A and B are shown apart, each in its own frame.
Chain A
Amino acid sequence: MIWQPLLLSLRLGVIVTAVMIVVTLPLAALFTRVRRRWLALLESLATLPMVLPPTVVGFYLLIAFAPNSPWGGWLNRTIGLRLAFSFAGIVLASCISSLPFMLQSLKSGMQSLDARLWEASYSLGKGRVTTLLRVILPNMRPAIFSGMILTFAHTLGEFGVVLMVGGSIPGQTRTISVALFERVEALDFTVAHHYALVMVVISYTAVLVLNLLQRSQLERRA
């Protein structure tokens, strides 16, 4: 039973990271390449989960996901998807809450590239998608890895949003951080220590890999 929350958290982290890479890349390209003032409104909205308390994000998502809300009800009726207090719900909530971390990494990666790489590719007859896949992405690999590590680590440590949207259903929404909170409430410090230690090891490893990556990048530039 002690492994169940850990495995659930790892599954959540892998799914959210994979989804976010696909979703955030076009967004990062949009915010970096297109100069329109109104895009600041959209970008600020995408960055909001980074500065809002997780409970606030979780509260609004819970309201939106509830079966009696227009959107939650529509999803439930049309494809039978229930988002409140379900694994699908915490995946979506974690995606929204992790969006700024992936977005900032990809954006800074794209901004650090010479913008004329796009133009050079266009002048050689290539379109936007080919340019993105064959020129831009391969040259921003370190930023992509940073974004993936940050998103994965953040998802693993997410507590407020997951608890608000998913509650604590064993095997479905009880992630390791929620399980840790419950063990502390139950004064079961032995298991709480195990959970906390696992989190420390995983998070430290993630940060270590991130730092090693940044150092090797600096060495390559030197």
Chain B
Amino acid sequence: MIRFYVRKSHPARRRRSGQGQFGIDVEFTLRSGSITGVIGASGSGKTTLLRTLAGLTHADEGFLEVEGNTWFNSAMNIRLPPQKRQVGLVFQDYVLFPNLTVRQNVLFARNEREDADRLLQLLGLSAHANHYPNEISGGQQQRTALARALARRPLLLLLDEPFSALDEGLREQAREAVRAAHSATGVTTLLVSHDRIDIERLCDEVIELDGGRVRGSDFGEE
């Protein structure tokens, strides 16, 4: 089980410049092995929530407990850096390392060749293992980012709009890749998307964010 409460106020200068309107004030519990969708309009705090859970953005207060381990607790002054949180993070536009091949990107997370090759095979990337990121398609880049995140054997997988850069033809393939990866690993996953179709097709549960707060949550089809 993963429990969190995170509060982060938005810096006044960013509010003034119109870069998002709100901070976040979110409490939620994720069931182990579930895929939970986070949906909301632009500036509703979806990405800030993911970054805060990953430790890339500092929360003002709150806690984050992952399968019995405390990664963050402001009252107890515990704040693990991103390196020590066992998260897998897939950025919106993947942020692959351009100097490394597909296989090397995956090996960067965990230097175990067999593991990497198994993930590449699972995600249909074996034929592109020796290609560089600029030599493969957007869909293949998305799957490489997913393989790299999974190679870390995360306890929590964070996907930030992983399908938004893909056209409709590739989106279903990419969703299938996420589904296959989740079936194989059973990792608890938080998927941010502005597209209800992504959420409906993949998620067991939904958090709807509005102005940085949970407006509602519901269960989809199991």
Contacts and interface: CB of A to CB of B under 8 A. Distances in A.
Interface of A: 114, 116-117, 119-127, 134-135, 138-139
Nearest to A113: B98
Given A119-B56, A120-B91, A126 B99 contact: no
Contacts, number: 48
Given A114-B95, A119-B82, A135-B99, A124 B56 contact: no
A33 to B, nearest CB: 13
A122 B81 contact: yes
B95 A116 contact: yes
A134 B108 CA distance: 9
B91 A116 contact: yes
A139 B99 contact: yes
Interface residues on B, range: 20 to 34
A34 B113 CA distance: 36
A117 B95 contact: yes
A120 B56 CA distance: 10
A117 B97 contact: yes
B87 interface: yes
A139 B158 CA distance: 26
Contacts of A124: 108-109, 148-149, 152
B95 A120 contact: yes
Contacts of A117: 95, 97
Contacts of B149: 123-124
B90 to A, nearest CB: 10
A199 to B, nearest CB: 36
Interface string B63-92: 000000000000000000111100111010
A123 B97 contact: no
5 contacts: A114-B95, A116-B95, A119-B95, A124-B109, A125-B83
Nearest to A137: B99
A122 B56 contact: yes
Given A119-B82, A120-B89, A125 B109 contact: yes
Nearest to A115: B95
B105 to A, nearest CB: 9
Nearest to A138: B99
Pick from B88, B98, B149 the residue with the most CB of A within 10 Å. B98
A52 B207 CA distance: 59
A123 B152 CA distance: 9
B83 A122 contact: yes
Contact of B97 (A119, A125, A127, A135): A135
Given A116-B91, A124-B149, 12 more contacts: A116-B95, A119-B56, A120-B89, A120-B91, A122-B55, A122-B81, A124-B108, A125-B84, A126-B108, A127-B83, A135-B99, A138-B99
B148 to A, nearest CB: 7
B82 A123 contact: yes
Nearest to A114: B95
B152 A125 contact: yes
Contacts of A122: 55-56, 81-83
A99 to B, nearest CB: 27
Contacts of A120: 89, 91, 95-97
B158 to A, nearest CB: 8
Interface string B160-177: 000000000000000000
B72 to A, nearest CB: 15
User: Which 4 A-B pairs rank lowest in CB-CB distance, beginning with the nearest?
Assistant: A138-B99, A122-B82, A123-B89, A120-B95
